Amino acid sequence: MMSNGPEGSNYAVPALEKSIAIIECLAQSSEGMPMSAICKNLSLPKTTVYAILCTLEAHNYVRKNPNGAYSLGLSLYSLGMLSVRHINSTIVFVPHLERLRDETHFTVHLCTYDKGESVCLEKIEGLGSIRFLSYVGERKLMNVSACGKAMAAFLPERELQAMFAKGMLSLTANSITTEQAFREHLEQIRQYGYSIDDEEGELGVRCVAAPIFTDERQVFGAISLTTLKGNLPMQKIPEYGEKLIETAKVISASLGFKA
């Protein structure tokens, strides 16, 4: 009897199954794998693996390293980030963001990483009368926002290079505009677990942010608190940084991250 659903074996596509097996095999190796190792691990003929790798490479789903080994390509990273962004954020994220807003009275942003930039996914207005011009869907270069810097600190090197390729924007005298200075700044963020935007994106405005991770220990995004400089003295930043870290941990856990 023929199955009437996509799970039936009659609907399987052998070439696609082999392609998926190759992608999953490469996902297990952080240093990449030569074609011979892929063939051996999957018991597939060299001609089949070569043809599939060439196709995947043409679409940037895999890439060939200088040493001849194959690794996963950035197209998979982009698709993965898009799939996570399609999560119903109202259910998964917003309650945590609103709680953070209620505790601090500050404006709360949730951003994600996409193609070397920070993208705003959610914005919860603060309880005061001040309204910031940020908006859902806004894209920013990573060096001029707390969320951007929090994400950049934990990106793999190839993604960090994509970020640097976008350029270093200077919005105020406090903006960090050189790669060396920015890399040194990222070391501090890794040490503290949160980032600070001290009038780097806009004069008179301070922000603090902490990174969010997925089940694959990849950076998904970051959450931030934004307020006027006078409402957030430097001596209070560690306190708010810890609040952000705790909230970020809860959201990361909802995405499958295990510390």
Share above pLDDT 70 across residues of the chain, in percent, rounded to a whole number = 91
* Class of CATH domain 9-72: mainly alpha
- In the chain, list all ranges with CATH 1.10.10.10: 9-72
Is the whole-model pTM more than 0.85? Answer: no
- In the chain, list all ranges with CATH 3.30.450.40: 80-254
CA separation for the pair 31, 223 (Å, rounded): 31
What stretches of the chain show up as alpha helix (H) in DSSP? 14-27, 35-42, 46-58, 74-85, 89-92, 94-104, 146-152, 157-165, 179-192, 237-254
Residue 4 is predicted with a pLDDT of 40
CATH number of 80-254: 3.30.450.40
In this predicted model, what pLDDT tens digit does every residue of 93-143 receive, in sequence order? 889 999 999 999 999 999 998 888 899 989 999 998 889 989 888 999 999
Residue 86 is predicted with a pLDDT of 60
DSSP 211: E
CA separation for the pair 215, 247 (Å, rounded): 16
Would you say 259 and 249 are in contact if contact means Cβ atoms under 8 Å apart?
yes
In this predicted model, what pLDDT tens digit does every residue of 63-87 receive, in sequence order? 998 899 999 887 877 776 666 556 5
